[in-house]
Structure 1
Amino acid sequence: MLLRDDAVFVGASQKPEYLLLQRANRHGLVTGATGTGKTVTLQILAEGFSRAGVPVFCADIKGDLSGISMPGAPKDFLAKRAADIGLSDEYAFAPSPVAFWDLFGAEGHPIRTTVSEMGPLLLSRLMDLTDAQEGVLNIVFRLADDQGLLLLDLKDLRALVAHVGEQASELSQLYGNVSKASVGAIQRRLLVLEEQGGDAFFGEPALAIADLMRTDPQTGRGVVNVLAADRLMTSPRLYATFLLWLLSELFEEMPEVGDPDKPKLVFFFDEAHLLFDEAPKALLQKVEQVVRLIRSKGIGVYFVSQSPLDVPDEVLGQLGNRVQHALRAFTPRDQKAVRAAAETFRPNPELDTAQAIMELGVGEALVSTLDAKGIPSVVERTLVRPPSGRLGPIGPAERQAILAASPLGAKYDTAVDRVSAYEILTRKAEETVQTAEEGTVAPEPDQPEAVEKAESGGLFGGMLGQLFGTGSDRGARLTTTQRVARSVARTISNQVAGEIGRQIGGRTGSSVSRAVVRGVLGGMLRR
């Protein structure tokens, strides 16, 4: 019997190679050049964990992993591989229970989180902010906490960032310097994030971690959560930040369990180099901390990349289970990668590890896993077992059938937009303007005050001038509500001016439109 209940069967050559379930939470690494079989290895590991009742989360970069949801089809090369490793009598085609996810909601259930849950550190990474800009973003989050404002989606964050920009001078005295240049930079980066589809990721209902840790009630197999990532890979920073956020959420929410008989969840981080490329020191420290400590939460993390050099040494030292596919040494960097990969294995006196890495065929790998005592096994050249699920992607109709039958659709497929920072700030502004309109009596046209206000911005502007500190009140201290209303008024002014300018056309139209709007709303906007 090659298939065991206490281990995942990886493959065989001189002897069977297993990944023990009780050591699977010590993390792992799957590396190799493009086209050498990493995706199939990821699939057979996911199938093995699922068969043992362990839920799995993995990203489907090319669409091929979706085939795990369907039984495989007989093929000569699969039958030959099963015979070569002695698996023929136990080899059977079977699907794994699958839940499809998609940040954009097209190929799976939407995955959402709130801006508050993401936090300023990961958002700064996502938007590639400087240290000064990150400091301002921290002030925005602190202000939201102090004033009880919920930050759920990007429009909440935009509204509060604009609010902070309007109160820059006052807030600088309370929280530290608030540069309007930094505020402007954050606003521009938020626009870029929206263009990349990031607005679909932020909102509610937010993902509940428990929904990634389900087992199939009929078979007892762990559900394989497959993230559709082909479109997501066009925004690599969003992809990497999302997976790091998910890993951090697992770390925060899962209780301590020590070393269980099998993991609570196995997390595959494909294209791992995207996480570490140009990552600031603070972020790398966070990744190292999470990887080091999440083991005791019963979570196994497996990085998948082309070379061990893609992973920092601090993280690489935490990865005890290794599967190394072929590397090609065409350049000095490639040669360095081969040497680095060879040196990470426990040497085998009968095997030249570095030479073997360059000679491996498709579907072959060097394997070293932790034994029952936590000691790495001697590296062995191994033929990876054939998968039980389908090789290659499933069709759109098959995917839709799985989504339609999923119990998660009713919970996640419809977005919810409850009252949060944007609605509160907007409502306060509207209430202030409405109060001013209802409570101010316009003077007779022949009175000097009316003439003065008409000249300074029109009767409507004069009516609201006192509210925003115009005329003789220009030096008065404004309340927070007045500042919010003034910020909204400025936004309205710019939008109206832009629309008029577009109707008139050209630079002249823009100038004329601004003059018209200043005449109508001048009293509101003048300091």
Structure 2
Amino acid sequence: MVTSDNKTADTDEKIFIGKGEQTAWLTLALANRHGLVTGATGTGKTVSLQIMAEGFARAGVPVFAADIKGDLSGISEVGEAKDFILKRAGEMGLDFQPDQFSTVFWDVFGEQGHPVRATVTEMGPLLLSRMLDLNDVQEGVLNVAFRVADENGLTLIDMKDLRALLDAIAPVAKKAAAADDDPDDNEELKAALRKAAQSYGNVSKATVGTIQRQLLVLENQGAAKFFGEPALTLKDFMKTDSDGRGVVNILVADKLMQSPRLYATFLLWMLSELFEELPEAGDLAKPKLVFFFDEAHLLFDDAPDALMDKIEQVVRLIRSKGVGVYFVTQNPIDVPDKVLAQLGGRVQHALRAFTPRDQKAVKAAAQTFRPNPKLDTARVIMELGKGEALLSFLEGGGTPTMVERVMIRPPTARIGPITPEERKAIMSKSPFKGKYDTAIDAESAYEMLQKRVADTAAPADGQGDGSGGGVLGQIGSIVGTIFGTNVKRGRLSTGQVIARDVTRSVTNKVIGGVVADLGKSVGGSLGSSVGRALVRGALGGLLRR
């Protein structure tokens, strides 16, 4: 909040952000109401992000932040009392004390931080479809694949598991449909096969081929390193150090940003997992975790309406889990109105308006603030100097304060990137050293499918299984054995991890019941678990309410 208090030091209840005519404070009890940091390149967004991260860490709140250019890494090293820093601190009446903060570095590619991994099952079909840029039909096929995997205990851990599953499903529809023309089959069997053809009717070889090509593109971008085990335990982000300060978790994202869709989907997955895993917390004296989402516009670019609805729901509801989300981008208009309405705090650095379109953007940015009769907000936005910002945070009643022009306080840790040697030294002392650094290739869908195909090879090539041979024998082999064997569910079944909303009509068909009928006719064994309909959703159990 903004008060007339002249005290310029963080307290147990609030963080000192900056000072103008009045002192600007961020109240910790309201920090889970989210916020927005905006401004043109080079106007000080990263420094504002750093001083907020320092304030939260100092108050014992763990922080997660994506570091696009490497500048935020300096928070791990002691700051320097340079002349311009001392001058700014003196103008605010601030006694500058250099500091540093416990930091853990993470990197999807495992090059400049601990590897970050998730299983394909945890990512889910909707987020994976966005990552792969699939159309509706292709997304429906991916939903079918996830459904078959869950109902048959096929654990999807890495990309080769998903490839193997798609390869196994594709022939089933084609062979089931072809069997209907076999004159040697009886009518009861043909009826069962027609049901199979209907269930797998959209799983064409061409569609599967397209998905496989998109998977290859994703692999070429390095995403194969993201899918696997050991999977990230998100509670590892929520740690404090021996002094009771919050640990600052930095995602090294310079290379990840070369694949913007992967970057945005990855951070969205993290938010959804936090929402799913954390219990309800109500109103807390301070957040459990603060999440800074840099280059936030990438999250919303070309996002379908269904996904936008889920993003809005997560942003609205995750605050009750004690998590504050702060979006960082160039202009407030980068964020959709229904998400913008959920953001309680505003830090607006300078915007430049050289064209009519830029001027329109400035006016839109000014309209996101509660007006101050002393300020022409639109004009001031274009006049702000480096390190200055317009601020508005929430007051005690949860209402935004009037916009104020302030000078942002200087960070106490280093401004700018650290050296590779300094990063290496920090990682060598990390509490997670060795936990995530070595990938584990556990038995999963790929190995299980290979084994089941091998088990069926002998009867399929020999005297047959008494089901009529030809196409019928092939379907009995593929469906009855690969997708019809009772197996113990993997340690991380889709149903246990996350309840997901079925977003496309193709997935509304209960594949388990159809395949069960087929399995009875051709000798396959499906067991009681097949036919159980699961509810899948993009962002955690939002629809289980």
Q: TM-score range by the shorter chain?
A: 0.7 to 0.9
Number of the residue aligned with 2:447: 423
3-state SS of 2:410 partner: coil
Match of 1:353 among 377, 389, 413: 377
* Number of residue equivalences: 455
Number of the residue aligned with 1:187: 212
Match of 2:400 among 354, 363, 376: 376
3-state SS of 1:476 partner: helix
Deviation of 1:2 (Å)? 1.4
Number of the residue aligned with 1:74: 81
Distance (whole Å) between structure 2 residues aligned to residue 189 and residue 397 of structure 1: 37
Match of 2:38 among 20, 27, 31: 31
Number of the residue aligned with 2:237: 212
Deviation of 1:483 (Å)? 7.0
Query: 1:99-121 CA deviation, whole Å, 9 max, x = no partner?
Result: 10000000000010000000000
Match of 1:2 among 3, 8, 29: 8
Distance (whole Å) between structure 2 residues aligned to residue 485 and residue 423 of structure 1: 15
Deviation of 1:480 (Å)? 4.9
Distance (whole Å) between structure 2 residues aligned to residue 46 and residue 349 of structure 1: 31
Matched, 1:157 2:162: yes
**1:13-412 superposed matches below 5 A:** 13-87=20-94, 89=95, 91-169=96-174, 170=176, 171-174=196-199, 177-217=202-242, 219-412=243-436
Deviation of 1:173 (Å)? 2.6
Question: Which amino acid is the alignment partner of residue 172 of structure 2?
Answer: Q
Distance (whole Å) between structure 2 residues aligned to residue 393 and residue 72 of structure 1: 12
Please say if residues 119 and 156 of structure 2, whose CA atoms lie closer than 8 Å, have aligned partners that are also in contact: yes
Please say if residues 71 and 389 of structure 1, whose CA atoms lie closer than 8 Å, have aligned partners that are also in contact: yes
Question: Which amino acid is the alignment partner of residue 125 of structure 2?
Answer: P
Select the structure of larger CA radius of gyration. Answer: 1
Number of the residue aligned with 2:525: none
Distance (whole Å) between structure 2 residues aligned to residue 431 and residue 195 of structure 1: 33
**Residues 176/291 of structure 1: CA separation in 2 closer, same or farther (3 Å cut):** farther
Query: 1:150-194 CA deviation, whole Å, 9 max, x = no partner?
Result: 001100000001111121244543355322221111111111111
Question: Which amino acid is the alignment partner of residue 209 of structure 1?
Answer: L
Deviation of 1:86 (Å)? 1.3
Q: Could you tell me the percent identity over the aligned residues?
A: 63
3-state SS of 2:249 partner: strand
**Residues 206/79 of structure 1: CA separation in 2 closer, same or farther (3 Å cut):** same
Please say if residues 173 and 200 of structure 2, whose CA atoms lie closer than 8 Å, have aligned partners that are also in contact: no
Please say if residues 213 and 265 of structure 1, whose CA atoms lie closer than 8 Å, have aligned partners that are also in contact: yes
| Structure with more of its chain in helix, by fraction | 1
Distance (whole Å) between structure 1 residues aligned to residue 161 and residue 33 of structure 2: 40
Please say if residues 101 and 111 of structure 1, whose CA atoms lie closer than 8 Å, have aligned partners that are also in contact: yes
State TM-score, norm by structure 2: 0.81
Deviation of 1:479 (Å)? 4.4
Question: Which amino acid is the alignment partner of residue 8 of structure 2?
Answer: L
Distance (whole Å) between structure 2 residues aligned to residue 333 and residue 378 of structure 1: 26
Distance (whole Å) between structure 2 residues aligned to residue 80 and residue 296 of structure 1: 40
Structure 2 residue runs of 5 or longer lacking an equivalent are 1-6, 177-195, 483-545
**Residues 176/6 of structure 1: CA separation in 2 closer, same or farther (3 Å cut):** farther
Distance (whole Å) between structure 2 residues aligned to residue 101 and residue 302 of structure 1: 19
3-state SS of 2:124 partner: helix
**Residues 221/14 of structure 1: CA separation in 2 closer, same or farther (3 Å cut):** same
Match of 1:474 among 455, 463, 470: 470
Deviation of 1:478 (Å)? 2.1
3-state SS of 2:406 partner: strand
Query: 1:381-432 CA deviation, whole Å, 9 max, x = no partner?
Result: 0000000111111011111111111121221111111111000011222334
Which structure has more relative contact order (CA 8 Å, sep 6+)? It is: 2
Deviation of 1:476 (Å)? 3.4
Question: Which amino acid is the alignment partner of residue 474 of structure 1?
Answer: G
Please say if residues 38 and 348 of structure 2, whose CA atoms lie closer than 8 Å, have aligned partners that are also in contact: yes
